[in-house]
Amino acid sequence: MVRKELSGIVIDDMKVADLPEILAIETVSFKTPWSETLFYNEIFKAISVSRVAKINGKVVGYLSANIIIDEGHILNIAVHPEYRGLGIASYMVKEMLEIMKESNCRSVFLEVRFSNEEARKMYEKFGFCLLGTRKNYYISPVEDAVVMVLRFMSEPT
């Protein structure tokens, strides 16, 4: 599934060939980055939906999520520092939420660092709200996670 809508940005399925660029973005984005094995597993795991954002064939961002029965969980998202502020993360989240809704998810969950106000504001724009916190969820540095949820409204019958 490939969609091209936002000024030259193409959203595509994550592939093994994308891993070197994904790992480079992951390493500059997080102090405790995911391993190549974790991304590899997400590519092939039946419940996983993983996408990359590309500009001119170059991976500039990615998003990994899982769909389990009627729940979605956004696991990991990042955009290359040189491409931040262009709406790429929002574009990927929007696409993923459409996929989750089409898959009959009732709720979507995610965790985000308490200090990551920019990400929290982006998620709130999509309708995510605070569900709770996970004490000391993150390491390097140790920090609480904000657990957010988006509940899809069911269609009247």
Query: Would you name the residues annotated as active-site residues?
Result: 111, 123
Q: Is 59 exposed, middle or buried (0-12, 13-18, 19+ CB in 10 A)?
A: buried
Residue whose structure tokens are 């170059």:
58
Strand arrangement, sheet containing 71-79: 3-6, 9-13, 48-55, 58-68, 71-79, 107-113, 143-151, 129-138
Question: How do beta strands 71-79 and 58-68 pair?
Answer: antiparallel
Q: How far apart are CA 12 and CA 1, in angstroms?
A: 6
